[in-house]
Amino acid sequence: MARRIAVIGGGVVGCSVAWHLAQRELGEVVLIERDRLGSGTTWHSAGNLTWRPGLHHDATVLYAFETLKRLTAETEQDTGWLKTGRLFLAHEQPAIRRLEGYQEQATRRGIESRMITGKEAAGLHPLLAADSISAAWFNPLSGRVNPADLTAAYAKGARRRGARILENCRATGLTVRDGRVRGVATTTETIEADDVVVTAGLWSRALLTAVGVYLAQWATEHFYVIADVTPRLPRETPSFVAPEDLLYGREEVGGMMVGAFDENAKTIDSTGLPEPFAFTLFSPAWDKIAPYFEKAVTIFPALESAPIRRFVNGPESFTPDDVPLIGPISDIDGLYVCTAMNSGGVTYSAAAGHMIADLLAGAEPRFPVTAFAPERFGAKAKDVAWLEREISAVVSRGYRQTNL
């Protein structure tokens, strides 16, 4: 009998996992989605994808670029990929030195990035004030996708390779017997499985807590606005990050997206979310974004008079060290998790799918997996108060550490 593999959660990560498993012909794959594909957090993602030196955004992102080409060719599904490059903006010497280190590594690898002045950066981004920054690093290996289209492409590829996708089918629990996962109970049927991969994002922790497994993840509010700037931005305008200011942004339909990785982020207990929670946002957090937007106005003065077209405030799951949870659960054979992407689901989706496929195939892993071990926090993962404190702080701390 063919190996039966159930994947719980149909966001961009779950659909990638299903495609990678089906591609490797590891068994009969069924993907279970509580509502519609991408309806949890994927749909409101900014969709940015940027290479940079370091453990988690180097080989994984290069593989994502490779995957986009292969997936588009295989499925004929447009992912919305647009290569724009990205400006890393810096004010103080420590930030500049970090960017110079990036440039040194990029040069060694033949990547045509470059350190530039504020004036040169303003030449690449028409709204940037040249005297608002001290230096910048222009990284050409950056762009964006449409998260819904990328999810659809993964799903289409998985279906073409024989995977079954069940929408409007909510997983209500895991069946575990004699130390092994046996299947998934859902609102429509009981699905027997030899292996289960939990890619349920916000809902992963609650699903596993019910079988005595505690994941060190918690959700926070995460937000950006879209401003109707004048002049309108060309589509190819480079995106930007300003890590010292905890800012990021890019062009969006001629306007300008501006988001922040919030200090003292507001935590959310996902078990208290309303049902159904699909394509759902929280109320605008104007008080939270205000200090960040003021900093953005200093760098991009046109924002001061630009009407805000939209405020997007949605949940994202984080871990205490800003690294996703990907791998097997030691006490329950056949159970794997791939969750808590730290607002990087689009970025990690390709590599995460490959990691899970390697694990289930018993293959030599393409990417180092130790750092992603889901049980690395031990008993602390049970401590909700500790989790909330750490997650509230890691949103900004992790962003600085990743980009500075």
Q: How many residues does the chain have?
A: 404
Helices (H), 29-116: 59-75, 93-108
Amino acid at 143: G
Mean pLDDT computed over 231-243: 97
> Residue 230 has what pLDDT?
97
Mean pLDDT computed over 376-400: 97
291, 298 in Cβ contact below 8 A?
no
N- to C-terminal Cα separation, the chain:
51
> Residue 404 has what pLDDT?
60
Distances in whole angstroms, Cα of residue 187 to Cα of each of 34, 116, 168, 191, 199: 9, 56, 9, 11, 18
Write out the two tokens for 89.
């903006």
224, 257 in Cβ contact below 8 A?
yes
The answer, yes or no, to whether residue 146 has pLDDT greater than 80, is yes
Task: Please provide residue 30's backbone torsions phi and psi, each rounded to the nearest 5 degrees.
Answer: -125, 130
In whole angstroms, give the CA distance from residue 217 to residue 372.
12
The answer, yes or no, to whether residue 189 has pLDDT greater than 90, is yes
Mean pLDDT computed over 238-245: 97
pLDDT band at 127 (very low <50, low <70, confident <90, very high): very high
pLDDT band at 402 (very low <50, low <70, confident <90, very high): confident
In whole angstroms, give the CA distance from residue 120 to residue 133.
11
> Residue 123 has what pLDDT?
98
The answer, yes or no, to whether residue 393 has pLDDT greater than 70, is yes
The answer, yes or no, to whether residue 336 has pLDDT greater than 90, is yes
The answer, yes or no, to whether residue 137 has pLDDT greater than 90, is yes
Mean pLDDT computed over 35-49: 97
